């Protein structure tokens, strides 16, 4: 049996993998911070050996973007050092016949500064604006430095799901509570339905065969602002809440958000032959799963 460790299994992507796991012929080990401390290298190695893990899908992350600005040590431990632990555990020493462990690590558009004018490719220069982006980039660098075979990094953006806290759920709640909302229109990118990403991960897993760590980008298709996203959520859910466009400077936050987060997905589509859904179709599917589509 092919054994897969899924960390951060109570997060959005981890929860979606859990929801889909019955569709795939694998044996899954779903963990969270209470069942596996991924910042403890010895604990990670023991868990992997004891359960004969063949693949790791690292969905665990410190994602409190604003809180990270004053909590860098914890953000670094989860987003950087834990990734290094997985990389070292998966690395096969020279001359060793040990079977390679496949590793999929989820990263973010926040590794970029958001000043680009065309969709970011995997080779574009990284320049994070804040602690969250910096620690996620440090995690990428640690994995790239160790570079175990059959390991990949998937950068994604604007993740939402029927699980956990996210923009879609916030808009649904506020749309019922308020007559009007101001939503930022000068930050542009593409949302990612976590279920689409989870399915893509499970579909490409058997086909991961590379000698060193590779980076890929994944989000839904299309381009929009947070304002556009909010407008469509209200329209689909038939909520009578007026959405007004505001500038980023009107909604100051401790951490700086990238103004442009569009990701070029050509590489993952070409190399793995996957089709990525359009963002409106995915939002429709998510709202239906939540019973919110009207």
Please compute the mean of the pLDDT values over residues 172-187 and round it to a whole number.
97
Query: By residue range, what is the domain housing residue 126?
Result: 3-164+192-219+262-277
Active site residues: 132
Please state the domain count of the chain: 1
Instruction: Give residue 149's pLDDT band: very low, low, confident or very high (50, 70, 90).
Output: very high
Instruction: Give residue 99's pLDDT band: very low, low, confident or very high (50, 70, 90).
Output: low
Q: Angle at CA 243, nearest 5°, toward 241 and 248?
A: 145
Residue 233 lies in a domain: no
Please compute the mean of the pLDDT values over residues 175-204 and round it to a whole number.
97
Residue 248 lies in a domain: no
Residue 46 lies in a domain: yes
In this structure, the number of other CB atoms found within 10 A of the CB of residue 236 comes to 18
Residue 247 lies in a domain: no
How do residues 153-169 score in pLDDT, each as one tens digit? 999 999 999 999 999 99
Radius of gyration of the chain (CA): 19
Please tell me the predicted confidence (pLDDT) of residue 100.
79
Q: Across the strands, what pairs with 225?
A: 188
Please compute the mean of the pLDDT values over residues 92-105 and round it to a whole number.
71
Please tell me the predicted confidence (pLDDT) of residue 98.
59
User: Rounded distance, CA 197 to CA 192, Å?
Assistant: 7
* CA diameter of the chain: 66
Please tell me the predicted confidence (pLDDT) of residue 95.
44
What's the pTM value of the predicted model, to 2 decimals?
Answer: 0.96
How do residues 41-98 score in pLDDT, each as one tens digit? 999 999 999 999 999 999 999 999 999 999 999 999 999 999 999 999 988 654 444 5
Return the CATH number at 59: 3.40.50.720
Residue 185 lies in a domain: no
Instruction: Give CA separation, 97 vs 100, 210, 262, in Å.
Output: 9, 17, 41
Residue 234 lies in a domain: no
Residue 114 lies in a domain: yes
Instruction: Give residue 170's pLDDT band: very low, low, confident or very high (50, 70, 90).
Output: very high
Q: Across the strands, what pairs with 153?
A: 105, 215
- Count CA atoms within 13 Å of residue 8 on its CB side: 24
User: Rounded distance, CA 108 to CA 112, Å?
Assistant: 9
* Residue (of 183, 192, 289) closest to 236 by Cα position: 289
Residue 232 lies in a domain: no
Q: Three-state SS for 61?
A: coil
CB 190 within 8 A of CB 260: no
């Amino acid at each position: 049996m092919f054994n897969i460790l899924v960390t951060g299994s109570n997060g959005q992507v981890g929860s979606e993998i859990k929801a889909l796991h019955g569709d795939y012929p694998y044996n899954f080990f779903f963990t969270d911070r209470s069942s596996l401390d991924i910042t403890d290298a010895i604990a990670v190695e023991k868990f992997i050996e004891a359960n004969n893990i063949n693949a790791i899908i690292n969905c665990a992350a410190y994602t409190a973007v604003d809180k990270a600005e004053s909590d860098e040590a914890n953000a670094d431990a989860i987003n950087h050092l834990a990734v290094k632990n997985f990389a070292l555990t998966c690395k096969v020493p020279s001359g060793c016949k040990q079977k390679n462990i496949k590793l999929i690590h989820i990263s973010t558009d926040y590794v970029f500064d958001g000043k680009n004018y065309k969709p970011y490719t995997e080779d574009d220069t990284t320049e994070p604006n804040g602690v969250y982006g910096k620690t996620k980039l440090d995690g990428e660098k640690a994995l790239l430095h160790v570079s175990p075979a059959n390991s990949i990094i998937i950068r994604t953006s604007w993740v939402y799901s029927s699980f956990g806290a996210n923009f879609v759920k916030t808009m649904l709640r506020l749309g019922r509570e308020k007559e009007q909302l101001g939503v930022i229109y000068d930050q542009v990118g593409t949302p990612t339905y976590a279920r689409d990403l989870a399915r893509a991960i499970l579909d490409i897993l058997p086909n991961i065969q590379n000698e060193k760590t590779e980076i890929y980008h994944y989000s839904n298709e299309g381009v929009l602002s947070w304002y556009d996203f909010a407008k469509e959520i209200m329209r689909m859910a038939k909520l009578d809440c007026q959405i007004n466009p505001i500038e980023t400077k009107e909604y100051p936050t401790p951490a700086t958000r990238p103004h442009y987060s569009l990701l070029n997905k050509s590489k993952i589509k070409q190399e793995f032959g996957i089709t990525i859904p359009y963002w409106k179709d995915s939002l429709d599917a998510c709202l239906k799963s939540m019973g919110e589509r009207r």
